[in-house]
């Protein structure tokens, strides 16, 4: 039996204080949050943290040996710049353990104004190769990169060998068919870019309609999906709607499913992945509790005995109940031709 020299950290989402406490209590190594100011890519009403809530969350996490990361992963336009600068200054004042950034201008501000603030490169930066990642490290002292979910496992291995920073990958949660939030579909339908407005289906553009046949969901008056009367209805996302193509009605762009990398944990540990991230700052406390608990158990079991590790069938079943479409995929990580 072999043992691995380094554990993989578990990075979990929190959209509010109850979810943050749930992640801490169920075994997260770090929590990532966002401010309630439109500077992050989960900009929903009622979600995210005020300055004081972030401070309280930091205190609770640190009392339990858990780190706090702040996501500022949108690209501010000219009129949003001062709000973004205020958010960075608040993050430095709260002393978060890392700031997750995508915009080079904000990275440059941090380097000049808060040189002691640890920076992570957001998945929204779409850095997938050595030269891009090394550029951010050399220019802005990025210490970790969150890789986009478009790389295969062999490509992740190659990146880790060639870059001087820690590598974090997504391990569970919803997938994006586009290049990590740079979606022309939602911009076309809503008039707002996910990389500036912070959400691909802004709440003001979402509409529901009850009909005799069942519930219908719309995004800016574009019909996304029809549900039967007893069928669970998901939040309307354009890429995961059903549309007529050549008289066939189906998920023309992407079927609803969730990423689940449990079966790849031994490979991820062996190749040197530093952390796996759970998607879902918009999800409930119950979601955060259950996913964090299961992944904590899986990571600990894999670290103890990677050669014989097999995901528990009950873990998979429970996670599928929380997944989009009640099913999971390895996504781009599994490409049999590589």
Q: Are 20 and 33 in contact (CB under 8 A)?
A: yes
Helix 313-322 crosses helix 285-304 at what angle (to 10 degrees)? 150
- For position 35, what pLDDT does the model report? 95
CA angle 72, 100, 160 (to 5 degrees): 150
Phi–psi pair at 29, nearest 5 degrees:
-90, -25
**Closest residue by Cα to residue 40 from 91, 115, 113:** 91
Please tell me the predicted confidence (pLDDT) of residue 191: 84
pLDDT value of residue 153? 94
Residues forming beta bridges with residue 119, ordered by sequence position: 99, 142
How far does Cα 141 stand from its chain's mean position?
A: 22
Least Cα distance to 280 among 143, 131, 175 occurs for 175
How many other C-beta atoms lie within 10 A of the C-beta of residue 23? 31
Q: Return the pLDDT at 229.
A: 79
Q: What is the pLDDT of residue 2?
A: 47
Cβ contacts of 293-301, under 8 Å, gap ≥ 24: 293/26, 293/27, 294/318, 294/319, 295/10, 295/27, 295/171, 295/172, 295/262, 296/10, 296/26, 296/27, 296/28, 298/262, 298/265, 299/7, 299/8, 299/10, 299/265
Backbone angles phi, psi at 216, to 5 degrees: -120, 145
Among the listed residues 129, 81, 124, the one whose alpha carbon sits nearest the alpha carbon of residue 105: 81
pLDDT recorded at residue 181? 59
Compute the distance between CA of residue 214 and CA of residue 227 in angstroms, rounded to an integer.
6
Enter the CATH code of domain 9-175+257-333: 3.20.20.70
Tokens of 273: 């992945």
Report how far Cα 300 is from the mean position of its chain's Cα atoms.
22
The tokens describing 320, both together, are: 């599928």
Distance, in Å, from the CA atom of 258 to the CA atom of 174, rounded to the nearest integer, reads 5
Spatial separation of the C-alpha atoms in residues 285 and 100, rounded to whole Å: 22
Mean pLDDT split into 10-residue runs, the chain, 338 residues = 70 97 98 91 83 97 98 91 96 97 97 97 93 98 95 95 97 78 77 78 88 89 86 80 86 81 95 96 94 98 94 95 83 76
- On whether the CB atoms of residues 13 and 280 are closer than 8 A, the answer is yes
Eight-class DSSP state of 35: B
Which residue reads 């019909």 in tokens? Answer: 223
CB atoms within 10 A of CB 14: 28
Domain residue extents for the chain = 9-175+257-333, 184-250
pLDDT at residue 182, rounded to an integer? 67
pLDDT given for residue 1 in this prediction: 37
Global model pTM greater than 0.95: no
Q: What pLDDT sits at residue 62?
A: 97
CA 34 to centroid of chain Cα atoms: 12
- Tell me the C-alpha distance between 84 and 294, whole Å: 35
Q: What's the confidence (pLDDT) of residue 326?
A: 74
Q: How many CA atoms lie within 13 A of 287 on its CB side?
A: 20
């Amino acid at each position: 039996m072999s043992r691995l020299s380094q554990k993989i950290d578990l990075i979990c989402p929190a959209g509010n204080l109850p979810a943050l406490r749930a992640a801490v209590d169920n075994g997260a190594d770090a929590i990532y949050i966002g401010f309630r100011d439109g500077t992050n890519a989960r900009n929903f009403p009622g979600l995210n943290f005020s300055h004081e809530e972030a401070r309280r969350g930091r205190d609770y996490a640190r009392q339990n040996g858990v780190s706090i990361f702040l996501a500022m992963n949108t690209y501010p336009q000219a009129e949003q710049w001062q709000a973004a600068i205020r958010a960075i200054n608040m993050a430095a004042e709260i002393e978060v353990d890392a700031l997750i950034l995508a915009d080079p201008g904000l990275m440059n501000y941090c380097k000049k104004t808060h040189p002691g603030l640890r920076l992570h490169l957001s998945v929204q930066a779409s850095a997938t190769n050595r030269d891009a990642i090394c550029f951010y490290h050399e220019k802005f002292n990025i210490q970790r990169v969150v890789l986009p979910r478009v790389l295969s496992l062999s490509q992740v291995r190659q990146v880790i060998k060639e870059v001087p920073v820690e590598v974090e990958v997504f391990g569970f949660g919803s997938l994006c068919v586009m290049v990590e939030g740079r979606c022309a579909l939602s911009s076309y339908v809503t008039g707002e870019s996910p990389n500036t407005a912070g959400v691909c289906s802004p709440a003001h553009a979402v509409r529901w309609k009850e009909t005799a046949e069942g519930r219908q969901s719309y995004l800016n008056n574009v019909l996304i999906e029809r549900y039967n009367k007893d069928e669970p209805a998901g939040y309307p996302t354009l890429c995961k709607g059903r549309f007529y193509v050549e008289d066939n009605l189906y998920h023309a762009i992407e079927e609803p499913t969730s990423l689940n990398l449990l079966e790849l944990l031994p490979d991820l540990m062996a190749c040197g992945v530093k952390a796996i991230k759970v998607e879902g700052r918009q999800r409930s406390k119950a979601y955060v509790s259950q996913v964090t608990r299961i992944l904590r158990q899986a990571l600990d079991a894999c670290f103890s005995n990677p050669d014989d590790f097999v995901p528990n069938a009950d873990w998979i079943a429970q996670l599928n109940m929380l997944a989009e479409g009640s099913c999971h995929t390895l996504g781009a990580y599994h490409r049999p031709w590589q």
